Amino acid sequence: MTSLYEGVFGAPAEAEGRAPARANLLGEHTDYNDGFVLPTPLAYETAATIGRMKGAPDGIIEAHAAPFGETKRRSLGDPPQGDWMDYVVGCFRALGEAGYAVPAVSLAISSDVPMGAGISSSAALEVAVLRAARRLLDLPLDDVELARLGQKAENAYVGMQCGIMDQMAASLGQRGKALFLDTRTMATETVPLPESFRLAIIHCGKAHQLTAGDYNTRRRECEAACAALGIGSLRDLDTGDLERLERLEEPLGRRARHVVTENRRVLDGVAALKACDAGTFGRLMDESHRSQRDDYQVSIPEIDALADSAKRHGAIGARLTGGGFGGSIVALVPSGRYDGWRDAVLADRPDAREI
């Protein structure tokens, strides 16, 4: 476990943390609206090894990131610089703000998580770093608290106003299962994935951007919709309230409609998974894609074409996954037909690639 660390820092690491990437199956842009989400961890992982740095003052963080071939050193007081190191420093700042003493530490980070694919390489990094720190410093943090610190690193330091889904998926998710999370109560339930279907993640060829301004804009639009409706959160509405939304100014009405209908799709999707009804689940994925495309407007033409192709070649459901504005689709494909399906989709969409 220590070879990368030892190679860079000349001594063995003292602790390690790992965390997976995720795909979201249903429930997009609902997490910062107190809503429901349904992510699942993927096989891709980020690992962080850590040790105390001798002879440096408290709060100095040095990290080597193998995917970038870079080593950076910063202090907790330094401003963000728009690079991968912001995520690492942001985690330690969040720990400091939570009242934990942060000594000088060095970290070595390795990862096979593709970046810009919309499968949350950032949350995998945060949760891996925080798990490594938890072990090294013997911190009394449970997995939900740890996820919240990862989210805080992004909200308060990186400048991405993300919700809690990705960090919860990285921190609590179990491989091969979906994690049903109510972001209002933080209640979780593990739900089985449909048997005899395979989840496909196909990147459209255009990267999803790290701190996309559009994401933060969507969040503000939801807040504006709540203010106009006189409610605290879009979670307070149900599909019975859809008529009320028609009186909102655009684009606020359609933004709110996406969130309200998407929450319903998560609940229906969880019921379908429990009933082993893959067909209904696939239909909900398709509806979710249309809602993201038309109401929430977070898709791009390359993603829409990819989702169409996925369906045409036999996926039972296909949708944009993650924050949007590029990145990947997730599709549910009958296992026995997977290889032929993938080849046909990639032939249709030469810029796309399987993740």
Active-site positions read 166
Residue with smaller CB distance to ligand GLA, 24 or 299 = 24
**Which residue in 144, 102, 140 sits closest to 127, CA to CA?**
144
**Which residue in 64, 128, 63, 139 sits closest to 101, CA to CA?**
139
Q: How far is CA 246 from CA 33, 240, 241, 256, 257, in A?
A: 19, 12, 10, 10, 9
Residue 92 makes contact with ligand GLA by CB under 6 A:
no
**Smallest separation (angstroms) from ligand GLA to the CB of 27:** 7
Token pair for 242: 């859809």
Residue with smaller CB distance to ligand GLA, 20 or 323 = 323
- Per DSSP, helices labelled H in 10-120 are 85-97
Residue with smaller CB distance to ligand GLA, 136 or 172 = 172
Tell me the three state secondary structure of residue 285. helix
Q: Which of 166, 287, 295, 302 binds ligand GLA (CB under 6 A)?
A: 166
Residue 328 makes contact with ligand GLA by CB under 6 A:
no
Q: Which of 323, 328, 333, 341 binds ligand GLA (CB under 6 A)?
A: 323
Residue 163 makes contact with ligand GLA by CB under 6 A:
yes
What binding mask, one character per residue, do residues 119-158 give for ligand GLA by CB under 6 A, x or -? -x--------------------------------------
Residue with smaller CB distance to ligand GLA, 194 or 324 = 324
Count Cβ atoms within 10 A of the Cβ of residue 223 and give its class: 0-12 exposed, 13-18 middle, 19 or more buried: middle
**Smallest separation (angstroms) from ligand GLA to the CB of 118:** 7
**Which one of 45-53, 98-106, 160-168, 245-253 is the stretch in contact with ligand GLA (CB under 6 A)?**
160-168
Cα(27)–Cα(310) distance, rounded to whole angstroms?
A: 20
Q: Which of 322, 345, 349, 355 binds ligand GLA (CB under 6 A)?
A: 322
17 forms beta bridges with 48
**Smallest separation (angstroms) from ligand GLA to the CB of 282:** 19
**Smallest separation (angstroms) from ligand GLA to the CB of 277:** 24
**Smallest separation (angstroms) from ligand GLA to the CB of 95:** 20
Count Cβ atoms within 10 A of the Cβ of residue 282 and give its class: 0-12 exposed, 13-18 middle, 19 or more buried: buried
- Per DSSP, helices labelled H in the chain are 3-9, 85-97, 121-137, 143-152, 165-172, 213-229, 242-245, 252-274, 278-290, 301-312, 338-348
Q: How many residues bind ligand GLA (CB under 6 A)?
A: 12
**Which one of 57-65, 127-135, 159-167, 304-312 is the stretch in contact with ligand GLA (CB under 6 A)?**
159-167
Tell me the three state secondary structure of residue 141. coil
Residue with smaller CB distance to ligand GLA, 106 or 288 = 288
Residue 165 makes contact with ligand GLA by CB under 6 A:
yes
Phi (first) and psi of residue 313, to 5 degrees? -90, 10
Of residues 12-51, those binding ligand GLA (CB under 6 A):
24, 28-29, 31-32
Q: Provide the 10 A C-beta neighbour count for residue 23.
A: 25
**Residues making contact with ligand GLA (CB under 6 A):** 24, 28-29, 31-32, 120, 162-163, 165-166, 322-323
